[in-house]
Amino acid sequence: MDKNFFKKLRILDGGMGQELHAKGLVSKGTLWSTSAVLDKKYHNLIIDCHLAYISAGAEVIITNNFSSRRIRMEQNRVNHLFEFANKKACELAIKARERSNKKIVIGGSLPAQHDTYREDIRENNVIYKGFSEQVSCIKDYVDFFYLDVISSGREIDIASDVIDEHNKPILVGLHLNKKGKLPSGETITEVVKKYKHSSWIGIIASCVSMEIAENSIAELKKQNLPFGYKVNLWGKDEPSPVREINTAKHDEDAVNLNTVMGKKEVADELFKNLGKKFLDNGATIIGGCCETNPIHISLLSKLKKDFA
C-alpha cells in the first residue's frame, strides 16, 4: 500500500455494529458485531453493509472484527473461534470489495485489547500478546491496520511495535474525551511526540462525538500527519465501556446500546458542516463510527466532490 494514500482526501466507511443491528442482527452477550461473523446466516448481511458503504462513496472499509479481541471471545465462551472470527471478518470484507468492482482499500480493525473507551492498565507483555494474536490472524488479508478506538499512548506504541514486525502501514485512531485528551490523560501532541512510528500514515479522532471531533481540529492539524475523524452519533458525548452497560451473559441477547447511550439525530447540513470544517483545515480522512450509516457517508462523498 502507498504510504502517501491518506495525503489525498479519502472517505472512510461508517459504523458496522449498529448498522448490522438496524438491519436485523441479534447479538449475544458482549459479542456485539462478532455475533454476525460467527453465525453464517448473517454473512451476507455483513457483505451487504460493506457494499452499502462502498456504494455511498467509501473508499476504505474496515474489517468487522472490532469485538473479536481475545478477552471478549473468552468472556462469551467462544475463545476456540478466535482465529475463525478474525479471518472470516477479513474474508467477508474482501468479498465485498470483489463484488463492488472498485479499488477499495481494506483496513484491519485492531481494537483496544481490554475494554473500549478506557485505558488498558495491564502489563505490557499481556497487551502485546493480545495485539500480536489478533494481528497474526488478519495481517495477510488487509492493506493497513487501523488502531481502532485506542485510549492510551502506551497501547498505541505496543500495537505499533507488533504491526511493524509485519511491515504494514498504520492509521492511528485516538479516542478523546471532552477535554480533548485520551482516557489516559495524555494529549494528542504528547502521544505523537513520544510514540510516533515511521509506519504511521495518518491520525484520527476515533469514535468521538461531533463536538469533540471539532474541538480536536487544531491539535490534530499540528501533528504533521494526515488527519481527520470517525465520529459517532451516540447520545452521550463520552460513551461508557461495554461491560458497564451490557451485563448480558454469553447465551443471552445483548442489550440494545440505544437504550443506554441513545442516538443523536443530526441534520444533514450539520453533519456536512463538520466535514467542511475539517477539510477547510487540511484534513484528508473523514468517516463515521457508531450510529452513522451509509446516508452519512454519502454526505461526505458529496462533500469530497465539492472539494475536488
pTM of the model as a whole = 0.95
Question: 3-class SS at 66?
Answer: coil
How many whole angstroms separate alpha carbon 85 and alpha carbon 109? 12
What residues pair up with 184 in beta bridges, in sequence order? none
Q: Which residue has cell 469533540?
A: 212
How many whole angstroms separate alpha carbon 234 and alpha carbon 211? 12
pLDDT of residue 182: 98
pLDDT of residue 222: 98
pLDDT of residue 243: 61
Phi (first) and psi of residue 173, to 5 degrees:
-105, 105
Q: 147: which 3 cell numbers?
A: 488502531
Residue 45 has a CB neighbour count (10 Å cut-off) of 17
Tens-digit pLDDT profile for the chain (308 aa)? 899 999 999 999 999 999 999 999 999 889 999 999 999 999 999 999 999 999 999 999 999 999 999 999 999 999 999 999 999 999 999 999 999 999 999 999 999 999 999 999 999 999 999 999 999 999 999 999 999 999 999 999 999 999 999 999 999 999 999 999 999 999 999 999 999 999 999 999 999 999 999 999 999 999 999 999 999 998 877 776 666 666 667 766 666 665 556 677 899 999 999 999 999 999 999 999 999 999 999 999 999 888 76
Q: Which residue has cell 459517532?
A: 232
pLDDT of residue 189: 98
Task: Name the CATH architecture for the domain at 5-307.
Answer: Alpha-Beta Barrel (3.20)
Q: Which of 238, 306, 295, 305 has the alpha carbon at shortest distance from 271?
A: 295
pLDDT of residue 238: 77
- Tell me the angle at which helices 43-56 and 82-100 cross, rounded to the nearest 10 degrees: 40
